[in-house]
């Protein structure tokens, strides 16, 4: 990966409800930050676009912080033309509240039968892969059932070069855990990596990308 430019998204996004509340998910950002370090160690020039996480920025890695899926979409699109690889580890919220309240929602006014309308966020991966040219794109699939089948569908639908699928219903791997177990799936290859530390897994993922993509 020496000299290759690698853009990585990581962490969750936050979708505002009102000035003090938001909707988010359990992503810690650990997988994305760990892959960033592994790519850097192999000589890559790495940039991270991260949602809100409590992780230190790794040495020699440029980091841009964002909150919402819209902000992440904007920042990725601003810089993507400069990169050779896009690795999308972020757990981007699929939906956002249709309306952000300007003032805090007060319980005496709204709490009785409070309900909210949601609209879909843009799919960052899909939008980037439409005109990908020479860019190599790697996505993640967070699944709770039919892991491989669902991941293969995403590989095709999002026009990816590699998808990394994991079972997020198993709390010993995936979200906020220090370990993970995944399938690496391309059009031609399917490889299972048994449960290991996210650090070792990241090295294997970068080696796989360097070898096959
Ligand atoms: N992704 C993205 N933009 C979104 C949603 C997802 O770029 N708005 C990316 C994620 O970073 C990941 C891949 O798409 O690399 C798959 O994300 P996942 O949450 O597993 O799937 P979804 O496409 O959201 O589909 P579903 O929630 O129906 O499984």
Give how far the C-alpha of residue 48 lies from the chain's centroid of Cα atoms, to the nearest Å.
11
Active site positions, annotated: 25
In the structure encoding, which two tokens stand for residue 71, read together?
């902000």
Q: Per-residue pLDDT tens for 53-103?
A: 999 999 999 999 999 999 999 999 999 999 999 999 999 999 999 999 999
Residues 211 and 186: their CA atoms lie apart, in Å, by 12
Per-residue CA distances from 213 to 80, 84, 139, 179, 209 (Å):
18, 11, 13, 25, 5
Cα of 142 vs centre of ligand 1, distance in Å, is 8
Cα of 113 vs centre of ligand 1, distance in Å, is 31
Protein residues whose CB sits closer than 6 Å to any atom of ligand 1? 69, 88, 90, 92, 94, 121, 123-125, 139-142, 154
Q: What is this structure's pTM?
A: 0.96
Residues 85 and 135: their CA atoms lie apart, in Å, by 6
Q: Nearest CA to 126 among 117, 114, 115, 137?
A: 137
The mean pLDDT of 24-42, rounded to a whole number, is 96
Give the model's confidence band at 171: pLDDT under 50 very low, under 70 low, under 90 confident, else very high: confident
pLDDT at 111: 60
> What is the number of the ligand 1 atom nearest to the C-alpha of 158?
14
Q: What percentage of the chain has pLDDT greater than the value 70?
A: 97
Please provide residue 28's backbone torsions phi and psi, each rounded to the nearest 5 degrees.
Answer: -100, -15
């Amino acid at each position: 990966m020496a000299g290759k430019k690698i853009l990585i998204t990581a962490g969750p996004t936050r979708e505002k409800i009102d000035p003090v509340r938001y909707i988010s998910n359990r992503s810690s950002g650990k997988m994305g930050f760990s892959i960033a370090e592994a790519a850097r160690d192999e000589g890559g020039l790495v940039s991270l676009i991260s949602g809100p996480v409590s992780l230190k920025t790794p040495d020699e890695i440029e980091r841009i912080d964002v909150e919402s899926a819209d902000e992440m979409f904007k920042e990725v699109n601003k810089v993507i033309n400069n990169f050779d690889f896009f690795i999308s580890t972020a757990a981007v919220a699929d939906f956002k509240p249709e309306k952000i309240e300007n003032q805090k929602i007060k319980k005496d006014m709204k709490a009785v039968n409070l309900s909210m309308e949601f609209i879909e966020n843009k799919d960052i991966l899909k939008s980037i892969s439409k005109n990908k040219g020479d860019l190599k794109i790697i996505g993640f699939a967070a699944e709770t059932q039919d892991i491989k089948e669902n991941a293969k569908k995403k590989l095709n639908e999002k026009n990816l070069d590699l998808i990394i699928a994991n079972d997020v219903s198993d709390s010993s791997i995936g979200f906020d855990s220090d370990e993970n177990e995944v399938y690496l799936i391309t059009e031609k290859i399917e490889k299972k990596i048994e449960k290991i530390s996210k650090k070792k897994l990241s090295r294997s993922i970068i080696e796989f990308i360097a070898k096959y993509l």
